[in-house]
Amino acid sequence: MRAAILDTAFYPCPYLSEKTARMEQFIAYTIGPEEHEALIAHGYRHFGNYYFRPACGACTSCIPVRIRVEGLSFHRSWRRLLRKSVSLDLRINEMPSIQEAYDLYTLHKMRFGDGEDSDMRVFRESFFSEHPVSRILTLRDGKLLVAVAHFDQVPGSLSAVYTYYNDRDYARVSPGKLSILHLLQFAVATGRRYLYLGYYVHDNPFMRYKADFTPFEYSPRGGMWSRPEKPLGEISFVPGESLLR
C-alpha cells in the first residue's frame, strides 16, 4: 500500500451533535484487497481513496459492527420484506448515471434535516472514483432508481460503504434495510464470511437500525471482535494502534 498519512483532524461530529470528532486519516494511492480487508477489520472506513477511523479519546461511541454470514438464518421479518419487494429490479455492478445517483442522494439527505448541502464533486470522489474493491448494488422500479448501495468486495467479506434511497415513495419496502438483505444474500452466494455494516452509534437514531441485523459482532478494540454481552448503550470501541505506523 502507498499512502499519505494526514494530520489527525478535528471535525464537528457527523454522528452526535455538539461533539467534536478526532479522526485518524490517510489517502491511499494504491491498496490491495487484503490490505483493505485488514483495515476494515480494525475499524477503518473509507470514501473513495480517503480512509478514516475515529480516535476521539473519551468518546468511544462509534462501534464497528459486522454480521457473520456462515450459518446465518434469515429472520421471518427479513423474508417477508424480500417477498414484499420482489417487483423491484436488483442489479449488481450496473452503474447508474452519476446525475440520477446524485439526485437520489440529494433526496436521501433531506431526511436528516441538518441543512448540509450536497456537492457533486465530493459525491463523485466519494462514490464514483476508481477503487479496486468498490462495487455497487442498485434497486429500480422500472426505470426509476429507488436505492443505491455502495459496498466493497474483498476476499473474505463484503463491507457496506453507504446507501441512499427514496424512502419518501418507497417506505413500505424499507429500501435501506432491503439493500442490506440483498448484500447478505450476495455475501452468501459469493462465499464471504462477513458483511461489515460500518459504525453503530447508539445515540444517533439514524444508526440504530444496524442493531436489527442480529446476531451481530462488534469490535471493542481494533482487530478484536465479539458478540455484545452488555446493553448496546454500554458497548464501546477503542481504536488501538494504527496500522500505518
* Nearest to 62, CA basis, from 20, 11, 23, 15: 15
Dist. CA 85–CA 82, nearest whole Å: 5
pLDDT of 114:
56
Record the cell numbers describing residue 9, joined without a space: 483532524
Domain ranges of the chain: 63-236
Q: Sort residue 158 into left (φ over 0), alpha (ψ -120 to 50) or beta.
A: beta
Record the cell numbers describing residue 114, joined without a space: 441538518
- Collapsing DSSP to helix, strand or coil, 170 comes out as coil
* Cα-based torsion angle of the residue sequence 239, 236, 133, 245 in order, rounded to the nearest 10 degrees: 0
CA diameter of the chain = 49
Digits of tens for pLDDT over the chain (245 positions)? Answer: 999 999 988 989 989 988 999 999 999 999 999 999 999 999 999 999 999 999 998 899 999 999 999 889 999 999 999 999 999 999 999 999 999 999 999 999 887 765 466 789 999 999 999 999 999 999 999 999 999 999 999 999 999 999 999 999 999 999 999 999 999 999 999 999 999 999 999 999 999 999 999 889 999 999 999 999 999 999 999 998 887 76
Q: Where is 54: in which H helix or E strand? A: strand 50-54
How far is the CA of 196 from the CAs of 21, 155, 238, in angstroms?
22, 13, 17
Dist. CA 37–CA 34, nearest whole Å: 5
The DSSP letter of residue 240 is -
Domain 63-236 has CATH 3.30.1490.20: no
